Amino acid sequence: MESVKVGLLGLGTVGGGTANVLQRNADEIARRAGREIQVVCASARDITRSRGCDVDTIRLTTDPMEVVCDPVVEIVVELIGGTTLALELVLKAIEQGKHVVTANKALIALHGNEIFAKANEKGVMVAFEAAVAGGIPIIKAIREGLTGNQINWLAGIINGTGNFILTEMRDKGRAFDDVLKEAQARGYAEADPTFDVEGIDAAHKLAILASIAFGIPLQFEKVFTEGIGNVAREDVVYAEELGYRIKHLGIARKTSQGVELRVHPTLIPEKRLIANVDGVMNAVLVDADAVGPTLYYGAGAGAEPTASAVVADVVDVVRMLTSDPENHVPHLAFQADALTDTTVLPIEAVVTAYYLRLCVDDKPGVLADIARLLADQEISIEALLQKEPAEDKQVVPVIILTQRVVERELNAAIASIEALDSVKGSATKIRLETLK
């Protein structure tokens, strides 16, 4: 049987990795797919640059549209990133009846609803396993493996760069900027690394996971997003003293009020497996009604881990080339006409526990005042830690862990606490999840 012809858009870190994996494992991949898969052409900004992959048999061009419009190309693999040119290329490929594989989480999170509608009209597949958690087959796991379940919640470390930074800061006391530079050099970080540290990349991925978990349209703009830039070393240390680790989590939870979609630094008990996921590794914990909790772990970024997911998608498409489009696995796990418009809750309506750090005068009655103001909002204290003052200081840090409370009520209590004369500056607030 004739080989399936693939066109690659982008020959950077992931593009090069994909070409390498397809070439190195060509025989095994053909045995699995039932047909040989051949990269016939690829676009790159600079085609004269030497690459980490063999391009002898690949026609190179600087014009990505040439790849999309090449009549022999059946599957277009989009690895250029961004949401402008990438959108144009993907829509053009679909219009021509070509299948698309993409690692572009921003593109899917922002334009997925439109892209999937067009793909359904044309009966083609748009596969995006590599868009979330690099090499971990999390889309397949949720969309197919857990298809018999109602998913209650999921929580994931879904940005490798952020996790690498937090881990190096905690374990080696390294400076933020220095670790970020290393993450960029290793090819983990986004073209704009603020996407990693401010949580935007994780929010893109969370929007995708929530859609396939709950059968809701993609709603990136409703994800509450807080980055890791304000995580202070002292909070990491106090959290550890209390038996917690701080991780940058993406959390999607279905409640009777609606759906919570949030990305923020989170204290989690150190005994949870996910609390021990370090470096560039990603992990997603999914709680579902029939199976209970399941945990998916692996490399969340990097050339070949991401290529592993891209190639798996290409093979999936090859296996379905002759199937009836009506019977393809739906893009967002649920049939397109069965998505629901469940409310996405604002962050003030979210219910979670909290870590608070206050800087207070070292004098009688201060803790009593704080406890009373929390009690006024019916907020129960779960744990309390007060440090002795440093020799030359009259103020001490007080760390409080609360029980679960609606964020609006906690914010009201914090406002009254900050108004006390004995409380200096503003409170540090970090959300806490037990992930039970």
Angle CA(403)–CA(406)–CA(412) in degrees, nearest 5?
A: 100
Binding residues for ligand HSE, rule CB under 6 A, total 11
DSSP 126-149: EE-GGGSSTTS-HHHIIIIITTTS
| Binding range to ligand HSE, per CB under 6 A, among 1-9, 189-197, 377-385, 419-427 | 189-197
Min separation Cβ 196 and ligand HSE, Å: 5
* CA dist list (Å): 245 to 249, 293, 300: 11, 20, 19
**Cα–Cα dist 92/122, whole Å:** 11
Min separation Cβ 201 and ligand HSE, Å: 5
Give the residue with the Cβ less far from ligand HSE, 74 or 226.
226
Strands of 70-164, DSSP E: 75-78, 99-102, 126-127, 151-157
Angle CA(200)–CA(202)–CA(204) in degrees, nearest 5?
A: 70
Least Cα distance to 160 among 13, 270, 314 occurs for 13
181 close to 193: Cβ distance less than 8 angstroms: no
Give the residue with the Cβ less far from ligand HSE, 64 or 134.
134
| Binding range to ligand HSE, per CB under 6 A, among 185-193, 224-232, 316-324, 421-429 | 185-193
Assess 301 for contact with ligand HSE (CB under 6 A): yes
**Candidate list 116, 128, 153, 188; residue touching ligand HSE; CB under 6 A:** 188
Min separation Cβ 11 and ligand HSE, Å: 17
Assess 211 for contact with ligand HSE (CB under 6 A): no
**Cα–Cα dist 68/348, whole Å:** 45
**Candidate list 78, 196, 226, 433; residue touching ligand HSE; CB under 6 A:** 196
Give the residue with the Cβ less far from ligand HSE, 192 or 234.
192
Min separation Cβ 158 and ligand HSE, Å: 7
Residue 282, classed as helix, strand or coil, is: strand
Give the residue with the Cβ less far from ligand HSE, 299 or 401.
299
Q: Interface residues for ligand HSE in 131-150 (CB under 6 A)?
A: 134
114 close to 43: Cβ distance less than 8 angstroms: no
Give the residue with the Cβ less far from ligand HSE, 188 or 355.
188
Min separation Cβ 162 and ligand HSE, Å: 7
Residues 6+ apart with CB under 8 A from 316: 125, 127
In sign, the C-alpha dihedral spanning 168, 205, 228, 303 is positive
Assess 159 for contact with ligand HSE (CB under 6 A): yes
Assess 189 for contact with ligand HSE (CB under 6 A): yes
Which one is catalytic: 205, 271, 424, 436? 205
208 close to 218: Cβ distance less than 8 angstroms: yes
**Candidate list 18, 20, 43, 161; residue touching ligand HSE; CB under 6 A:** 161
Give the residue with the Cβ less far from ligand HSE, 15 or 397.
15
Min separation Cβ 400 and ligand HSE, Å: 32
DSSP 34-47: SS-EEEEEEE-S-T
Q: Interface residues for ligand HSE in 414-433 (CB under 6 A)?
A: none
Min separation Cβ 103 and ligand HSE, Å: 7
**Cα–Cα dist 199/177, whole Å:** 16
Min separation Cβ 386 and ligand HSE, Å: 37
Give the residue with the Cβ less far from ligand HSE, 68 or 108.
108
In sign, the C-alpha dihedral spanning 237, 243, 248, 254 is negative
Least Cα distance to 289 among 155, 148, 141 occurs for 148
Rg of the chain in Å (alpha carbons): 24
Q: Is 205 a catalytic residue?
A: yes
29 close to 98: Cβ distance less than 8 angstroms: no
Min separation Cβ 302 and ligand HSE, Å: 8
Assess 168 for contact with ligand HSE (CB under 6 A): no
**Candidate list 74, 129, 201, 287; residue touching ligand HSE; CB under 6 A:** 201
22 close to 75: Cβ distance less than 8 angstroms: no
**Candidate list 15, 160, 199, 265; residue touching ligand HSE; CB under 6 A:** 160
DSSP category for residue 434: -
Assess 407 for contact with ligand HSE (CB under 6 A): no
**Candidate list 74, 168, 190, 433; residue touching ligand HSE; CB under 6 A:** 190
Assess 250 for contact with ligand HSE (CB under 6 A): no
Residue 247, classed as helix, strand or coil, is: strand
Give the residue with the Cβ less far from ligand HSE, 94 or 133.
133
**Candidate list 16, 112, 300, 397; residue touching ligand HSE; CB under 6 A:** 300
Site residues, ligand HSE (CB under 6 A): 134, 159-161, 188-190, 196, 201, 300-301
Catalytic residues: 205
